[in-house]
Amino acid sequence: MPIHNLGYREWEGERESGSSRWAVISGIGIRRAWQSQWLRRIAFVVWAPPLVYGIFIFLFEQFLKPNSGMDARGFLPALAFVLPRELGPQIQALMLSLPNLTPEQMLSEVRPLFWKSVMLQLQRSQSIALVMVVGLCAPSLISHDVRSRAFLLYFSRPLTRAQYILGKFGTVAFFLMITCTLPQLILYLFAVLLSPDISVLAYTWDIPLRVLLASATMIIPTSLLALMFSSLTTESRFATFGWFFIWIFGLAAFTMMVNMNGDASETVLRLSFLFLLFNDLSAAILGLTSMTGQLQTQFVFVIALSAICATIIFRKVSAPLRA
């Protein structure tokens, strides 16, 4: 092209909405984080537990078949170890009523309880993966931008601070969804396919909705917490240390208090250990525990934690622009 033909020309490519700018930031963050071999290994390993729990649901459904020749009343106690210990009172009451339950009651009461319990146990087994995944992908998301002054490049475009934060949040949330949420939904799909008939949907249709809500209750605060640590420093190793420290400190406080008092039901104790906090909230959302004052306090704590982390992130992202 002759040099005299150079100049401003109309864009001939496809135009996208300005509201999707955050998705570009998320996509870049996802591709960069996926380069980590450890992150890829963890993402593949977390798919093993759903296969194991799928076998339990398959066996349970075989015992529920009307002409299977097997008695589900004798099978449920054999798999009681799959059910969370917090369901002790419910399980005891259910065991006492098993001899009097009709086949229809077995489907409407026992099946949903068993499926939800398996979902909760699967989420517990994914908690370690959650901590590792966030620790690998989140600490560098904002800290590197602060250190390299990438803000000058980001905000030279028509990009708002909210879109920038949402893009970073989307990176962390994506990996949490594929390691925590998606395995549970796939497990539910397998359970439906392995059931004797499609009528199982009439008794378990709400489980995917509960899984999504429980996952959101866990993903939103943990992602914001990790991004807050990343925004507080220019060195990603400090953010990584802060992220793992808060989990290890909670475990140490929980272990010490239980050894001293022998009681793990204290509200403050369960708030200090994030694993217990999200486990209690997930159990409540799945309908495995009743709403109590303690659970209401935990919900308020999670909302407050998310709001505080979001406020700090917004202020830290705004600081270089004010300078």
Whole-number pLDDT of residue 192: 86
| Position 118 confidence tier, pLDDT thresholds 50, 70, 90 | confident
CA distance 141 to 193: 40
> Could you tell me if 96 and 77 are in contact, meaning their C-beta atoms sit under 8 angstroms apart?
no
In a domain, 6, yes or no: no
Whole-number pLDDT of residue 292: 58
In a domain, 199, yes or no: yes
In a domain, 9, yes or no: no
Whole-number pLDDT of residue 49: 80
Whole-number pLDDT of residue 144: 86
Whole-number pLDDT of residue 306: 93
Rounded to 5°, the CA angle 245-240-173 comes to 105
| Position 263 confidence tier, pLDDT thresholds 50, 70, 90 | low
In a domain, 13, yes or no: no
Using CA atoms, how far residue 241 sits from 29, 141, 229, 245, 247, in Å, is 20, 15, 9, 6, 10
DSSP class of 81: G
CA distance 306 to 310: 6
> In terms of C-beta density within 10 A (0-12 exposed, 13-18 middle, 19 or more buried), how is residue 239 classed?
buried
Give residue-wise pLDDT tens across range 46-97.
888 888 888 878 777 777 665 554 555 555 555 555 555 555 455 555 555 5
In a domain, 147, yes or no: yes
Q: Which stretches does DSSP call E strand in 26-182?
A: none
In a domain, 241, yes or no: yes
Give residue-wise pLDDT tens across range 220-238.
999 999 999 998 888 888 9
Nearest one of 30, 75, 14 to 172, comparing CA atoms: 30
DSSP class of 186: H
Whole-number pLDDT of residue 9: 66
CA distance 274 to 250: 7
Domain hosting residue 160, numbered range: 20-322
In a domain, 5, yes or no: no
Give residue-wise pLDDT tens across range 125-169.
888 888 888 988 888 888 888 887 777 777 777 778 888 889 999
Nearest one of 238, 182, 196 to 47, comparing CA atoms: 182
DSSP 187-210: HHHHHHHTSSSGGGHHHHTTHHHH
In a domain, 14, yes or no: no
pTM: 0.82
What's the domain count of the chain?
Answer: 1
CA distance 292 to 284: 9
